[in-house]
Each structure stands twice: as C-alpha cells, then as structure tokens.
Structure 1
Amino acid sequence: MHPLIAFYTGTGTDHRGRTLSGILAFSNTELESCHDYIQWLFPLRDPSPYNPEAPTLDEDVIQAFQASQELQNRLHHALLRMLQFYGIVMRETPQGFELLLPSDVSELHWLIPDNHNHRRISRMLASLKMLGLEAHVSAMWQGLQKLALTYPQAFSPATITHWRLAAMGMDSPM
C-alpha cells in the first residue's frame, strides 16, 4: 500500500511515526512551528525541498483519493483543521462551500507578506485540486481573493499569483 494511502486510512504513519489523527490534534503552536507535516496532509507530485522524506502523488494515489469517499472525507477534515489554524471557517451551503473570514484579523499571524503559511496554502490548493476536492478549492480561492482585496498589504503579488495557479490546477513553484 502506498504510504499516503496508509497514512490517510489510519494504517500507517508519516516518516516520524505520526498518524493523521495525531497531526490533526496538534496545537496551533505545533502547527506553526513544525514544518514537515504539511507535505503528508497535502501531498503533491513533486518532492518537497523542505521534506524530502515525504512521499509524492502518482496517478494511482490520485485516482484512489478521487474514487474514495473515505479518503476525501479525511482530506476534508485535514483542510478544516488547517483552516481553523488560519482563523478561517469553511461551511457547506446548498451551492457548495464558502469561507467565512473573521471580522477581526488582528489575531491572524500569517497576514504579512511572504509568510511561510502562504506557501502552505499554495500546497493545500494544489493538492486538494488534484485529489478531487474542487469545490473546496473554489471556495478557498474565492475567500482568499476577498481577503487579499481587503488586506492588500498582507500579500505579495507573487503569493496571489501562486494561489491562483494552484487553484486552477497549474504548476506553482511556491
């Protein structure tokens, strides 16, 4: 079984012996300071320069995620936890999903140009798109655009470009 499938089904661990549920139980401080879990939660085709031990996606894994409601549900929960960490809520509506942005952003530590969390968000968008959660990607992209329009000083133009490319399913080097 591919390591990502084992990790997401709860039968395997990441390269440090952590389970999906264990990582999702991290405190916000742990999510911020630890940098080698995001590649497991939101894998991509290309190896990560930050965590070369993390496995990458191949066509079989992509198809497995796209075909499995269980894997998609677990990916959805990983996304919700990361959005909670970012101070954002995603809710399901009859039309799909939408992001609820906080009215007070003073606690959002990542709203500064070139924050490393911007790269994480790019990874999340690209991974979710490949793994079949396109409605989630659309909602995230719409919410991120609103956030960027409201707080333009918080994001570099390069960040917005990377997010747009990731949401479109195009390669983004970020």
Structure 2
Amino acid sequence: MHPIIAFYSGQGTDHRGRTLSGILAFSNNELESCHDYIQWLFPLRDPSPYNPEAPVINAEVIDAFHSSHELQSRLHQSLLRMLQFYGIVMRETPQGFELLIPADVDNYHWMTPDNHNHRRISRMLASLKILGLDAHVTAFWQGLQKLAVAHPAAISSATVTHWRLAAMGLDSPL
C-alpha cells in the first residue's frame, strides 16, 4: 500500500511515526513551528526539497482519493484544521463551500509578506486539486482572492499568482 494511502486510511504513519489524527491534534504552535507534516497532509507529485522523507503521489494515490469517500473526508478534515490554524472557516452551502474570513485577519501571524505559510497554502491548493476536492479549491481560491485584495501589503501579487496557478492545477508548489 502506498504510504499516503496508508497514512490517510489510518493504517500507517508519517516518517516520524505520527498518525493523521495525531497531526490534526497538533496545537497551533506546533503547526507553526513544525515544518515536516504539511507534505503528508497535502502530498504532491514532486518531491519536497524541505522534507525528502515525504512520499510523492502517483496515479494509484490519485485514483484512490478520487474513488474513496473516506479518503476525501479525511483530506477535508486536514483542510479544515489548517484553515482553523489560519483563522479561517469553511462552511458548506447549497452551492458548495464558502470561506469565512474574520475582520481581524490582518492581525494573524501569517498575514505578513512572504510568510512561509503562503507556500503551505499553495501546496494545499495544488494537493486538493490533484486529489479531487475541486469545490473546496474553488471556495478556498475565491476567499484568498478577496483576502489579497483587502490586504495587498501582506499578500504580494507573486503570491496571488502562485495561488492561482496551484488552484488551477498548473503549478506544483513546494
């Protein structure tokens, strides 16, 4: 079984012996200071230069996520936890999903130019797109666009471009 499928199925761990549920239970401080879990929560086709221990996904993994409600549900939970970390809420609507961004988001730790969390967001968008959570990507991208317009000093145009490409499935971010 591919390591990502085992990890998301609850039958395996990451390279440090952590389970998906264990990582999702991290405190916000742990999510901020630890840098080798994001590649497991949101895997991509290309190796990560930041975590060479993280596996890359292939057609087997992509097909498994596209065909398994359980895997997609757990990926959805990973997204919700990371959004909570960013102070953002995603809610389901009759039309799909919607991002709710608090008015004081400009005071959040990641709302600074070139913050490493901007790269994490790129990875999240790209992974969600590849693994079949298109409605989530659409809502996430729409919310990020609004955020970028409202806070241009914190989110550069280069970051917005990177996010757009990732949301379109045209970029494989770090």
Q: TM-score range by the shorter chain?
A: over 0.9
What residue identity is the alignment partner of 1:85? F
State the match for 1:117 in structure 2: 117
User: How far is 1:130 from its partner?
Assistant: 0.3
CA RMSD of aligned residues (A): 0.8
State the match for 1:100 in structure 2: 100
State the match for 2:12 in structure 1: 12
State the match for 1:148 in structure 2: 148
State the match for 1:87 in structure 2: 87
Deviating 4+ runs (over 2 angstroms): none
What residue identity is the alignment partner of 2:38? I
TM-score by length of 2: 0.98
Counterpart of 1:50 in 2: which secondary structure? coil
State the match for 2:75 in structure 1: 75
What residue identity is the alignment partner of 2:126? A
1:71-98 CA deviation, whole Å, 9 max, x = no partner?
A: 0000000000000000000000000000
TM-score by length of 1: 0.98
State the match for 1:139 in structure 2: 139
Question: How many Å separate the matches in 1 of 2:138 and 2:171?
Answer: 17
Question: How many Å separate the matches in 2 of 1:127 and 1:25?
Answer: 21
What residue identity is the alignment partner of 2:84? Q
Change (3 A) 1:74 1:138: same
User: How far is 1:107 from its partner?
Assistant: 3.7
Q: For structure 2, list consecutive stretches of 5 or more residues without a partner in the other structure.
A: none
Counterpart of 1:153 in 2: which secondary structure? coil
Question: How many Å separate the matches in 2 of 1:97 and 1:103?
Answer: 19
User: How far is 1:105 from its partner?
Assistant: 1.9
User: How far is 1:44 from its partner?
Assistant: 0.2
Change (3 A) 1:28 1:162: same
Is 2:62 aligned against 1:62?
A: yes
Question: How many Å separate the matches in 2 of 1:105 and 1:89?
Answer: 12
Question: How many Å separate the matches in 2 of 1:77 and 1:168?
Answer: 22
State the match for 1:52 in structure 2: 52
What residue identity is the alignment partner of 1:5? I
State the match for 1:21 in structure 2: 21
1:116-169 CA deviation, whole Å, 9 max, x = no partner?
A: 000000000000000000000000000000000000111111110100000000
Higher RCO, 1 or 2 (CA under 8 Å, sep at least 6)? 2
